[in-house]
Amino acid sequence: MIHIKIFCKQVLARSMNWFLVALLSLVLALTACAPTGQTPVEYVVDDLGRLVTINGTPERIISLAPSNTEILFALGLADKVVGVTMYCDYPPQAQDKEKVGDYYGPDIEKIIALQPDLVLATDFHRFDLIPALEEQGITVFAVAPQTLEDVLVSIQKIGQITGKETEALELVNGMTSEIEAIEDQTRELEEKPRVFYMTWHDPMWTVGSDTWIDDLVNIAGGANIFSPNFGGGAMVEIEWVILLNPEIIITSEWSYDWALNATELVSTNASQTGRIYTFDDDLAQRPGPRLVQGLEWFAYLIHPELFEEPEG
């Protein structure tokens, strides 16, 4: 029997998320080994709720998302990655891997030609790509975290199915330590500035509750202005932003110049006090190991009186 140590500590509250505990217990219950001399088999539930059969430790892995690629490299699996998308640019070594197209339209024939024994996909690929690959007998595992806690669990799942349980646990524990170090400084703050995080401006996109970006803003000592209004990502009208009057606006790099010069935002506290910022999108928008660096930036931009500017 393969034993899996699952780190399931609640980052955003002190209570356990029993749904995740039940799900991960199911994973443990379904884990199995073949008789001696045969290829070990595991049955693992992916983030789409699919029961995926893992036949032995994968030797040829394809990643269809930059975040999945970053996790694989962080777990020491660079030598087993045989294909990535054109957007997989971190770490720099990932750029040397064979390209299988972009995130939105991977080349199925190219994927098949690389003969992977594991493809890491996302929820975006659920309707067309995943069924097409499975018809070819290719194992596909979907990684689709929503919250920061989900990201930590996803890292452990990837570690489990690739034979890197120990490395995954160490990575998650390290990330959690950094998260808690910041949370310890912001938990009792009386003033939590209103924050608007803009992923794109035309049309205007942002995030509400039940997202890892919302979690990062909260842990950093801010209050996401759209958290009470909806969950997940959504398009919003700029009039709504003006009404909610953010004290801080943090944008993607592509939308920063627009936000600085947008006459529509002039009336907001953020614009009037010069608190419109940006930092490397990938640190906030890729659900992987570097989210802790994104958290450091959020903490610094929201509470510069408490935190120093992050390096890099």
Global model pTM greater than 0.85 = yes
Strand intervals (E) in the chain: 41-45, 51-55, 61-63, 81-83, 118-121, 140-142, 194-201, 204-207, 223-224, 233-235, 248-251, 276-278
pLDDT at 222: 99
Give the span between the Cα atoms of 297 and 300, in whole angstroms: 5
Structural domain boundaries of the chain? 18-175, 189-302
Give residue 62's pLDDT band: very low, low, confident or very high (50, 70, 90): very high
Contacts of residue 245, Cβ cutoff 8 Å, sequence gap at least 6: 194, 267, 268, 269
pLDDT at 211: 99
> If you average pLDDT over every residue of the chain, what do you get?
90
pLDDT at 5: 29
pLDDT, tens only, 264-309: 999 999 999 999 999 999 999 999 999 999 999 999 999 999 999 9
| 103 three-class SS | coil
Q: Which CATH class is domain 189-302?
A: alpha beta
Are domains 18-175 and 189-302 of this chain identical in fold?
Answer: yes
Residue 232 neighbours by CB distance under 10 Å: 11
Q: How many residues does the chain have?
A: 312
Contacts of residue 233, Cβ cutoff 8 Å, sequence gap at least 6: 199, 205, 206, 207, 208, 211
Give the span between the Cα atoms of 164 and 220, in whole angstroms: 30
Cα dist. 265→198, 202, 224, 278 in Å? 12, 14, 17, 16
Q: Which CATH topology does 18-175 take?
A: Rossmann fold (3.40.50)
pLDDT, tens only, 196-225: 999 999 999 999 999 999 999 999 999 999
Give residue 32's pLDDT band: very low, low, confident or very high (50, 70, 90): very low
Contacts of residue 28, Cβ cutoff 8 Å, sequence gap at least 6: 4, 6
